[in-house]
Amino acid sequence: MTTIDAARPWVPAELESAIQQRAAAYRALDSDALEQEVIGLLARHEQYMDRECLSLYACTNVLNPRAARLLAS
């Protein structure tokens, strides 16, 4: 597989290296392991956003209940 395009001069070299390492680790996972990784990342993100911080981004506010039902269907 190809790597993430490194032609991004605004990305510091150390960060680009970390991105490439993470991408390589994800590419090495089979589909079941990748699914479990995504589920774990989402759980940690929800924990952080819902319980550990006060996010001031409007798009992270409580979702409209009707929209939530539509997304769940």
Which tens digit of pLDDT belongs to each residue from 15-58?
A: 999 999 999 999 999 999 999 999 999 999 889 988 898 878 77
Say how many domains are in the chain: 1
> Does residue 2 have a pLDDT over 90?
no
**What is the extent of the structural domain holding 24?**
13-72
Domain-located, residue 62? yes
Contact present, 28 and 36 (Cβ < 8 Å): no
Instruction: Give the residue from 52, 73, 50 showing the smallest Cα distance to 60.
Output: 50
Query: What pLDDT score does 26 carry?
Result: 96
Angle ∠(31,36,40) on CA atoms, nearest 5: 145
Domain-located, residue 5? no
Single pTM value for the model: 0.61
Q: Token digits for 4?
A: 């993430």
Q: Token digits for 17?
A: 């290296």
